[in-house]
Amino acid sequence: MSTEDISKKKSTPTFFKEHQKALYKALEDKNTSIEFREKDPLGTDMVLNLGPQHPATHGVLRLALQIDGETIEKAKLDIGYLHRGVEKVAENKTFQEFMPYTDRMDYLSPYSNNVAFCRAVEKIANVEVPERANYIRMIGCELARISSHLLWLGTMVQDAGAVSYFLWTFREREKLYDIFDQIGGHRFTISHARIGGVANDLTDSAMAMIKEFVNTFPDELDAWHKTLDRNRIFFDRNEGVGVLKTENALEKGATGPTLRGSGYAYDVRKFKPYSKYDEVEFQVPTRLEGDNLARYYVRMEEMQESIRIIRQCLDKLPKGPVRTDNAKQAYPSKDEVYYSMEGMIHDFMMTDTGICPPEGSESFHSIEAPKGELGFFIQSDGTGHPWRLAIKSPSFANLQVLEKILDGEMIADSVLIIGGVDPVMGDSDK
């Protein structure tokens, strides 16, 4: 079906005409590795739009699929349905003011986005973070990793058909929400990390809840492994589906569990360790097959490794301050603000001007977010606002890979492949 035929049909949208035309033209021009059948008399090839509003596309993702019956011949992705211009907003805010925006980027694991941004600013402005703050950040990051992978598991298995997984993983997520509530006051988009440390220390009740979670969660993981690891339906739906070959994975820009499911053990926590990750022991799970099942195994094992890291952090947690003492770089503690004049002035200056990295400096720092490598590139002009803040988001790179691995799959499998690649649209559509 050519683009003219599509435009002539009455159901063409009357909005953004240039955009739709360009998208369908690009779909037609795309080269596919799939062999075309001879022109088929039943007329079963058509262009199908999956999204942007769809229960299974994990947010607002639009797929324009050229299908032949049930097989996808070519696929083109259209993103930008959740774009806000966060990079432009960053040019008008101080570094600490920007923290809540980072929460809302990868909104399944907001704590790791906070830590990523903090590490980037601390690198460019040369801020020392005390040890206790580093360990608290690691605990928060790993809890956020478990939270994100739990939601991935719930929705992917629900897409495969087992609806009750959604309820079980959300029950565990509620426990994590309670922990985050104790730590930072909010259920998930806590902006707990501050530049120079964290906002406040872990209370005893928070520590107790984390210990309890760490003790009970592995049993839940085992229970899920038992139901899914030998499940014939789950295997048939996931094995050999959405294969990303090892030689293609790095070239096409995959990152995170998608890349590790295809053989490359590239984990930023081991590549360039940040925030005390070089002092804890953990492994980086990898698989060679590159299909959906491999990505499932990688993520399940990552959850177990996260529990291991949290246990080690809880043992090693040193006593000490949770924020650096330097007034030009970090907020003073609330005691000082309320009871001393210098504290109040420092608080005012930090809110008004903020931390000022040296003029002309630029730096990049990335962390291993649950979805992949999340990095912030900051260029500074000497004021408290960044000159340019560029975000390297993992879901953006993974969606590019998705465009390539959807060719040749069936429509019903496309839903599972999207689930296996696990994109978050707030992250990819900054």
Residues 310-369 that bind another protein (CB under 8 A): 360-364, 366
Minimum gap (Å) between residue 158 Cβ and another protein: 10
Stretch of residues binding another protein (CB under 8 A), selected from 121-129, 196-204, 346-354, 406-414: 121-129
**Footprint of another protein on residues 369-428 (CB under 8 A)?**
373, 375, 377, 379, 387-388, 390, 392, 396-397, 399-400, 425-426
**10 binds another protein, rule: CB under 8 A:** yes
- Nearest residue to 420 via CA among 250, 259, 267, 252: 259
**146 binds another protein, rule: CB under 8 A:** no
Quick one: which of 4, 5, 18, 352 contacts another protein (CB under 8 A)?
18
Minimum gap (Å) between residue 145 Cβ and another protein: 16
In sequence order, which ranges of 130-278 are alpha helices (DSSP H)?
131-160, 164-184, 204-229, 232-238, 246-249, 257-260, 268-271
Minimum gap (Å) between residue 392 Cβ and another protein: 4
Compute φ and ψ for 169, nearest 5 degrees.
Answer: -70, -30
Minimum gap (Å) between residue 58 Cβ and another protein: 10
**Footprint of another protein on residues 34-93 (CB under 8 A)?**
52-55, 59-60, 79-89, 92
Quick one: which of 4, 5, 8, 14 contacts another protein (CB under 8 A)?
14
End-to-end CA distance of the chain: 33
Q: DSSP secondary structure string, 37-62?
A: PSPPTT--EEEEEE-SS-TTSSSS-E
Which one, 17 or 225, has the nearer CB to another protein? 17
Minimum gap (Å) between residue 11 Cβ and another protein: 6
- With beta carbons less than 8 A apart as the criterion, state whether 346 and 87 touch: no
- With beta carbons less than 8 A apart as the criterion, state whether 389 and 120 touch: no
Tokens of 133: 């703050």
Distances (CA, A) of 214 to 222, 241, 248: 13, 33, 37
Distance CA 5, CA 332 (A): 65
Element (H, E) at 335: helix 334-339
Which one, 62 or 132, has the nearer CB to another protein? 62
Minimum gap (Å) between residue 230 Cβ and another protein: 26
- With beta carbons less than 8 A apart as the criterion, state whether 356 and 383 touch: yes
Minimum gap (Å) between residue 351 Cβ and another protein: 16
**167 binds another protein, rule: CB under 8 A:** yes
**Footprint of another protein on residues 222-261 (CB under 8 A)?**
250-253
